[in-house]
Structure 1
Amino acid sequence: MFHKEGQKIILITFFLLSAIIVLAHFYVGISWVKTAVQIAALLILVAILQFFRNPKRVATKNFDEILAPVDGKVVVIEEVEENEYFKDKRLQVSIFMSPVNVHVTRYPASGQIRFSKYHPGKYLVAWHPKSSEENERTTVVINTPKFGDILYRQIAGAMARRIVNYAEVGESVVQGEDAGFIKFGSRVDLFLPLNSIITVKLNQKVKGAKTCIATIPKKDED
C-alpha cells in the first residue's frame, strides 16, 4: 500500500523508467551497458516505491500515552525552551527519519487541534541543532484529555522539499491516524509537559502509531 502523496511521483517515475528500459533494449548496443542501465532503472523504481509505502497501522488508543508520530530513531531527549507556541520549558523528543524509513506522519495523541502553522525555511540536515527553528517545517498543537497541549513539529531535511500537513485548527483527531507526510528525509520533534514520563531512550528505533514515547505520572491520572 502506498501513500496518496506519492501516487503522482510513482506514476511519473514508472513511465519514465519504463521508457528508459525499452529504449536501452533497442538502442544500447553494448550488452553490459544495456543491462546496467535497465537494472539501475529498476532499482530507482524500487527505491521510490519503498519510500512512499504506507503500512497499515492500527493504534491501541490510550489517553495516558503519547505514541511515536513517525518511524525512525530517537536522536534528542532533553528539556528545552519552546519559543513558538508555549514560550516556556518542555521536554523535547526528536525522531530522525532516514530515506529508508516510512515517512507517514501520524497523530501522536487524540484531541483537538489548537494550532497548525507552516513555516518556509532552510534545508539544513535534519539532525542539525538549528533545523527545528530554521528549516522548512510545520508546527501542530493538539489539546489532549490527559497531557493538556502537546506540540509536534515536522521538519524538512537536506533532501526534503515539501511537507504535507493535514491538521486543521478546530478539528478533532484520533491517535495513530494519518496526519501528513514529509518527502525525502526529515525529522519530527515532540514537545511535551515537563511532568511527562519518557519511555524511550536515545538511539532507540521507534514505529509510528506503535511505540509509546511518554506516559503521564500516576499522580496526574487521578
Structure 2
Amino acid sequence: MLHFHKEGAKSILIASVVAVVIVFAAEHFLKENFWVLKGVQVLALLLLIIVLQFFRNPNRSIRAQDHTIVAPVDGKVVVIEEVMENEYFKDKRLQVSIFMSPINVHVTRYPMSGKINFSKYHPGKFLVAWHPKASEENERTTIVIENEVFGEVLYRQIAGALAKRIVNYAQEGENVIQGEDAGFIKFGSRVDLFLPLGTKLNVKLNDKVKGNQSIITEKTE
C-alpha cells in the first residue's frame, strides 16, 4: 500500500484541487478542440502524480542496531572527504554527503539510535545543494546524536535551490531510534553526515543509497 508523508498533506490537497479544476474547466472551455483538451488534462494529472511521488513515504522498517549507521535519506553520495566541522565539533571530521534529486524519497530518518545532544535551525541562502558552501551558508538544521558505539555523530539537513522548507523533528535531550522519521526536506536537497576520522565506510563516491536500508558504516568488534 502506498503511503504519503504527513508533511505533504497540504501540498497534495492543493495539487488535487488544482488538477480537478483544470480537468473540468478544460471540458468546458476546450471541448471543441479535442487534442488540446486532452493535452491540458494530461498535464494536470501529471502535475498531481509528480506531487504524489515526491511525498511518498515507503515503509522501510528495520531492526535498530547500535553498531551500524544507515543512510538517513535516499540519494547519491556526492562527497566523501575530511573537513573542518566548525559549528559543533570544531575539529576535523569525515564528511559523507548524500544529494537528493526531486524524484528521490525526501523523508529524513535517524541514521542511528541514541540521545539528541544538539538540534538547531539556521536560516540561510538557497545555493544549489552540491555547492561547496551549501553546508555552511544554506538554510539548514544541525543535529547531533550520541550512542556508546560511535560516540557523537552529526547530520545536517541542507536546503537547495528548490528546497524552501526543512522539517526537523529532533528535540534536544530525547532518545531516538534508528530508522524513525526525523523530518522532511521539500523539493530537492542534501544531507551531510559528519563521522569520526578513520571511520571505515561501506559506501563510495557516486553510490546510490536508500534511506534506512544502505549501511554507511558498521563496527564489527
- Compute the TM-score of the two structures, normalised by the length of structure 1: 0.96
| Identity, % of aligned positions | 67
Structure 1 residue identity aligned to 2:13: L
Q: Residue in 1 aligned with 2:37? A: 34
Q: 94-103 or 53-62, which moves further after superposition?
A: 53-62
Q: Residue in 1 aligned with 2:104? A: 101
Alpha-carbon displacement from aligned partner over 1:12-48 (angstroms, at most 9, x marks no partner): 1101110110000111132111111000000000000
Alpha-carbon displacement from aligned partner over 1:60-83 (angstroms, at most 9, x marks no partner): 321111100000000001111100
Is residue 49 of structure 1 aligned with residue 61 of structure 2? no
Q: Residue in 1 aligned with 2:190? A: 187
1:17 to 2, 16, 19: 19
Listed as ranges, the gaps of 5+ residues in structure 1 are none
Q: Residue in 1 aligned with 2:157? A: 154
Q: 26-35 or 133-142, which moves further after superposition?
A: 26-35
Structure 2 residue identity aligned to 1:186: S
Structure 1 residue identity aligned to 2:97: S
Is residue 58 of structure 1 aligned with residue 58 of structure 2? no
Alpha-carbon displacement from aligned partner over 1:177-219 (angstroms, at most 9, x marks no partner): 1000000000000000113211101000001011000123x5x
Q: How many residue pairs end up in the alignment?
A: 218
Q: Which runs of 4+ in 1 moved over 2 A?
A: none
Is residue 90 of structure 1 aligned with residue 84 of structure 2? no
Q: Residue in 2 aligned with 1:115? A: 118
Which SS does the other structure have where 2:142 is aligned? strand
Q: Residue in 2 aligned with 1:130? A: 133
Q: How does 1:162-177 map to 2 (within 5 A)?
A: 162-177=165-180
Alpha-carbon displacement from aligned partner over 1:117-156 (angstroms, at most 9, x marks no partner): 0001111110000000010100000011201000000001
Cα drift, residue 105 of structure 1: 0.1
CA distance in 2, matches of 1:145, 1:59: 20
CA distance in 2, matches of 1:203, 1:59: 24
CA distance in 2, matches of 1:61, 1:209: 10
CA distance in 2, matches of 1:70, 1:209: 7
Listed as ranges, the gaps of 5+ residues in structure 2 are none
CA distance in 1, matches of 2:14, 2:47: 12
CA distance in 2, matches of 1:71, 1:61: 18
Which SS does the other structure have where 1:96 is aligned? strand
Structure 2 residue identity aligned to 1:204: D
Is residue 75 of structure 1 aligned with residue 78 of structure 2? yes
